[in-house]
Amino acid sequence: MGLAGTGLGITWFLLLTENLQPPQMDSAQDMESAPKWFLWTAIAIFLLIIPLCFLMLRDALRPIRLLKQAIGRVTNGQISHTIDPPVRDEFRELYDYFNAMTSALVETLRRAENANPLTGLPGNRSIRAEIEKRLDETGHPFAALYADLDNFKTFNDTYGLEAGDRAIKLAADLLKELLQQHGNLNDDFLGHEGGDDFVVVTTPERAIPLLPAICSEFDRRIRSLYSPGDLERGYIVAADRQGQMREYPLMTISVAVSTNAHRPLLSYAEVTLIWTQVKRKVKQMSAEAKKSTFLVDRRTGRVGTAADRTVFPQKTEVTTEPESPNHSSGAPLTPPQRASHSIS
């Protein structure tokens, strides 16, 4: 019996007691029998109240009992445990909140187990799961950004591992901060592929302001990790693998973008194939420009076809307009409105 049944019992009890009228006391004998009547009436009322109170207490304690059992199971490691509420339970909304909490706990634990120890960001498995989830959401375009630091190894070898870790943390914090400023609140994803590689998953319209912000901010902030002499020269002098001294530019960030805004993407393998193709080109562009650059895949053919394997034309189409200092070029997801590189 639920609270509704208890309510019906109370209603019945009130109707019953309402019909109990004390006897008319017209004589001395009636006066003598009145105490007995009141006594039996009190006993009857008391006997009715006890089961009604029991039913009410049982109904009130049932959700607490279910929640206590569920919390005990979660505490003992069964974090995916959920409550299957009765069909007509008045506390169903409370159970739904608990089930949503355990689902979020499972997802948080999954990401924590796969997190990068340096940045705390989700790792490879979480990145793949996020992109596959976006691929399953038909009718919802997404943009998957692959960000790779250029000349990181030379910096790491010259300045040391601790400085290299600071560079990785700088990139992670920058991406997190800019994603909060330009991205979709609580809907975007930031992962650490490993080493100096990061993945951002957002929507195409949010990627438009995000991409140039990443490039310009990285070029500005990364300078804080270099010595005054290297900053003045604009490069590091270090030995290559053959032991020959060479000049290496300051670190930049190259961002390759794979998106289903221009053509369908059917698998994680297709997304990573586009990353590989675009990254090769965008890193070349960053080296030539000596500043951070982004490049968006805007091809429309099916991924993996013969035409698609002809990765890029010899001459990349460029539309130029005056740029502000340290503003990086790239390919927007909509028709070009500023300096841009398009992949045809």
Give residue-wise pLDDT tens across range 118-167. Answer: 999 999 999 999 999 999 998 899 999 999 999 999 999 999 999 999 99
pLDDT of residue 185: 83
pLDDT of residue 329: 45
Tell me the average pLDDT of the chain. Answer: 78
CA dist 344 and 335 (Å) reads: 13
CA distances from 58 to 1, 52, 91 (A): 9, 10, 13
- DSSP per-residue string spanning 283-313: HHHHHHHTS-EEEE----SPTTSHHHHS---
Do 210 and 198 contact (CB within 8 A), yes or no? no
Q: Answer whether residue 25 is part of any domain.
A: no
Q: Answer whether residue 23 is part of any domain.
A: no
Range of the domain at 65: 1-18+31-113
Strands (E), the chain: 143-150, 189-194, 197-202, 235-239, 245-249, 252-259, 293-296, 317-319, 340-342
Residues sharing a CB contact under 8 Å with residue 152, sequence separation 6 or more, in sequence order: 164, 167, 195, 196, 251
Question: Which of 113, 144, 161 is the C-terminal boundary of a domain?
Answer: 113
Please tell me whether residues 12 and 149 are part of one structural domain: no
The pTM of the whole model exceeds 0.75:
no
Q: Answer whether residue 50 is part of any domain.
A: yes
Positive or negative, the CA dihedral 61, 63, 65, 68 is negative
Please tell me whether residues 207 and 274 are part of one structural domain: yes
Q: Answer whether residue 26 is part of any domain.
A: no
CA dist 26 and 11 (Å) reads: 32
Give residue-wise pLDDT tens across range 117-132. Answer: 999 999 999 999 999 9
pLDDT of residue 56: 64
Number of domains in the chain: 2
Please tell me whether residues 109 and 126 are part of one structural domain: no
* 190 half-sphere exposure, CB direction, 13 A CA radius: 19
Please tell me whether residues 37 and 182 are part of one structural domain: no
Q: Does the structure show a pLDDT above 50 at 109?
A: yes
Please tell me whether residues 4 and 140 are part of one structural domain: no
The pairing of beta strand 252-259 with beta strand 293-296: parallel
Query: Residue 114: which pLDDT band, with cuts at 50, 70 and 90?
Result: confident
Please tell me whether residues 178 and 64 are part of one structural domain: no
Please tell me whether residues 204 and 289 are part of one structural domain: yes
Choose among 279, 308, 310: nearest CA to 296: 279
Question: Which of 94, 113, 132 is the C-terminal boundary of a domain?
Answer: 113
Please tell me whether residues 167 and 276 are part of one structural domain: yes
Q: Answer whether residue 6 is part of any domain.
A: yes
* Across 24-28, 55-59, 228-232, 306-310, least confident range: 24-28
Give residue-wise pLDDT tens across range 261-277. Answer: 999 999 999 999 999 99
Give residue-wise pLDDT tens across range 55-80. Answer: 666 666 666 677 777 777 767 766 66
Q: Does the structure show a pLDDT above 80 at 206?
A: yes
pLDDT of residue 115: 82
CA dist 320 and 341 (Å) reads: 9
Q: Answer whether residue 292 is part of any domain.
A: yes
Question: Which of 95, 113, 131 is the C-terminal boundary of a domain?
Answer: 113
Please tell me whether residues 243 and 321 are part of one structural domain: yes
Please tell me whether residues 179 and 204 are part of one structural domain: yes
Please tell me whether residues 91 and 189 are part of one structural domain: no
Q: Does the structure show a pLDDT above 50 at 340?
A: no
Please tell me whether residues 177 and 99 are part of one structural domain: no
Do 150 and 253 contact (CB within 8 A), yes or no? yes
CATH number at residue 185: 3.30.70.270
